[in-house]
Amino acid sequence: MRKIKRQTKIMGREKQNPLLWLSPVIFIIIGIGLIPLNLFLFSMPEWITILFSAFILAASVIMWLKLKRRLHIKIITSVFSLFGITVTLFGSLCNPYWNSIMFKSDRSLYYCKVYDCELTYSQAKADLDYAFKYLKKLHPLFYKSTPEEIQNRYDRVAAELKNADKITVNRLAEQVQGIFSLLGDAHTSLFLNYDDPRYMKYIGAHKSAGDSLIGINGQSLESLLDADSPCHNKVSYEVGSWGIIQLKNYMNTLEGLDYLGIPTDKGITYNYRSKSGEKIDVSVTESDFLTYDEYVKFNGITDTSGGDAEEASFVSYRIDRDKSAAILTLTECNYNREYTDTIKAMFKEIKAQGIENLAVDLRDNGGGNSLVANEFFKYLNTESFKEGGFDWRLGCFMINIPQIVNENEKYEELLFKGELYLLTSNNSFSSAMLFAQFVKDNGLGTIIGEAPGNDPNGYGDISVFRLPNSGAVIQISTKEFKRADNKVGLIEPDIPCDRDEALDYFHKECAGR
């Protein structure tokens, strides 16, 4: 009888369902797998990760209750379950890129609906709440609480939308941007990328002639940023010159003018200034705004590919042996193989030809990856360089990174020991500004031109989202940066001049040595 009972226990143990310990593992794999699916393929609400975390926990509890004796399996599975729950929840609740479109390959996500497409109140309110949700979740300013001024603006916008007779994509975008603009953060902003915008047909001719847009309908661009202007709060900026650049971008199209609140039904007048200083007024009507294909045909543009690959590259250089000068042109801060190979080739030529002066042209660089500066410094004869610290918002956590002093991993065989110059303008932004900051605050070179377009003691490192109903794109800062030398203020040039004169000043410096 005893033998029969013992045999029954053994057989029972052998027939235990393996799903008792496999089910937590399966839910762990699915829960963690949701993170890359969200980053690269499709968006999903945060509650899905909470649900799968609950599944992992429930499966672990059932395993402890049902699985007999196998203590080591229960302990190991429980440890992995705890890890899985932590990663799954962190992946959505604390991950600044959850539901971001930054890593998704579908480029159509960056385009909004037609500017005058009407939205229902529920659609508009859903977009407003979506934007406000991620603003509060990610922006360092909202870490402990929502600033009263921002909350009041949100409440007012929600009320105005509810009482509006008609809500278009542009009008909703105007309201959302009105909230963002209060932050004084040039990185936190809304963008309207229209699928088929209509361009003012004379833009190309004036750009080719070197004419500068200085106003519209007799109003200066500076005055359009004033509080009583219909364009006030339509763009985010820290430096007025950067705000003007954003206004100009919208003024190029009929849809953008509508967003700015500038009526076009009775015609408008663009105010330009020529290279010689002459004022030029160009009056146009709505019929003078063309689709891209029409614009190309009107201006006789035959090459719409941007020219050959070398000219279109974001990084290039040229060397003037007679002036002992090299100029590296960097229109984007892309840290990739093309960049590293190009600057390596440049420094090889600099050494071979004994070049004594080097300029990095950042005047039209809108930013990217700050590691381009770190890589560049490896060719300079400096033992170390300092970077400013930052606070990084990760959901309910704030990570503080103090000032960093980097040991410079120098390329000894190609070190440049001549004079370094940076050419900057108000269009040098984000990582381009950081490049200039590192050079300025570490005493590595001379800045020529205009102050870059954002404050070194400001916000950045964005995450990008698409509002679900209007299709408008928003970007939100996740970090608050501190300047490397702890000073307050912009990166002021050592040799201030107009952006178009910066290269001439560089050549004068070369001739004076």
CATH class of 199-290: mainly beta
Integer CA distances (angstroms), 69 to 9, 63, 115, in order: 12, 11, 66
Measure the CA angle with vertex 165, ends 159 and 167; round to 5°. 75
pLDDT confidence tier of residue 443, bands split at 50, 70 and 90: very high
Query: φ and ψ at 498, to 5 degrees?
Result: -65, 145
Measure the CA angle with vertex 94, ends 92 and 95; round to 5°. 65
Average pLDDT for 210-229? 92
Mean pLDDT check: name the lowest of 13-22, 206-215, 361-370: 13-22
- Which percentage of the chain shows pLDDT scores above 70? 93
pLDDT confidence tier of residue 21, bands split at 50, 70 and 90: low
Q: Which residue has the higher pLDDT, 20 or 110?
A: 110
Distance, in Å, from the CA atom of 104 to the CA atom of 55, rounded to the nearest integer, reads: 28
Q: What pLDDT does 303 receive?
A: 63
Q: Which residues pair with 326 in a beta bridge?
A: 319, 358
Integer CA distances (angstroms), 455 to 178, 186, 432, in order: 20, 9, 12
Please name the residue ranges forming H helices in 358-420.
371-377
Residue 90 is classified by DSSP as I
Q: What pLDDT does 66 receive?
A: 80
Mean pLDDT check: name the lowest of 12-21, 153-162, 233-242, 421-430: 12-21
Question: pLDDT tens digits for 34-72?
Answer: 999 999 999 999 999 999 999 999 988 888 788 776 787
Q: What pLDDT does 76 receive?
A: 85
Average pLDDT for 4-31? 65
Q: What pLDDT does 192 receive?
A: 95
Question: pLDDT tens digits for 295-310?
Answer: 999 988 876 554 444 4
Question: pLDDT tens digits for 270-287?
Answer: 999 998 899 999 999 999
Question: pLDDT tens digits for 499-508?
Answer: 999 999 999 9
Q: How many CB atoms neighbour CB 177 within 10 A?
A: 22
Distance, in Å, from the CA atom of 38 to the CA atom of 463, rounded to the nearest integer, reads: 14
Burial of 401 (0-12, 13-18, 19+ CB in 10 A): middle
- Which percentage of the chain shows pLDDT scores above 90? 81
Q: What pLDDT does 437 receive?
A: 95
pLDDT confidence tier of residue 485, bands split at 50, 70 and 90: confident
Distance, in Å, from the CA atom of 95 to the CA atom of 226, rounded to the nearest integer, reads: 37
Q: What pLDDT does 501 receive?
A: 94
Average pLDDT for 427-445? 94
Residue for token pair 């190009």? 342
Integer CA distances (angstroms), 461 to 133, 158, 350, 493, in order: 18, 28, 34, 24
Question: Which residues are CB-neighbours of 302 under 8 A, at least 6 positions away?
Answer: none
Kindly give the interhelix angle for 169-180 and 148-163, rounded to the nearest 10 degrees: 170
Closest CA to 199 of 298, 318, 272, 265: 298
pLDDT confidence tier of residue 18, bands split at 50, 70 and 90: low
Q: How many CB atoms neighbour CB 227 within 10 A?
A: 6
Asked whether 51 and 107 are in contact (CB, 8 A), the reply is no
Question: pLDDT tens digits for 100-133?
Answer: 999 999 999 999 999 999 999 999 999 999 999 9
Burial of 25 (0-12, 13-18, 19+ CB in 10 A): middle
Q: What predicted TM-score, i.e. pTM, was given to this entire model?
A: 0.88
Residue 276 is classified by DSSP as T
Kindly give the interhelix angle for 19-40 and 71-89, rounded to the nearest 10 degrees: 20
CATH class of 313-455+490-511: alpha beta
Computed on alpha carbons and rounded to an integer, the radius of gyration of the chain in Å comes to 28
Distance, in Å, from the CA atom of 270 to the CA atom of 224, rounded to the nearest integer, reads: 13
**Average predicted confidence (pLDDT) for the chain:** 91
The ranges assigned to domains in the chain are: 2-94, 199-290, 313-455+490-511
Closest CA to 133 of 164, 99, 84, 108: 99
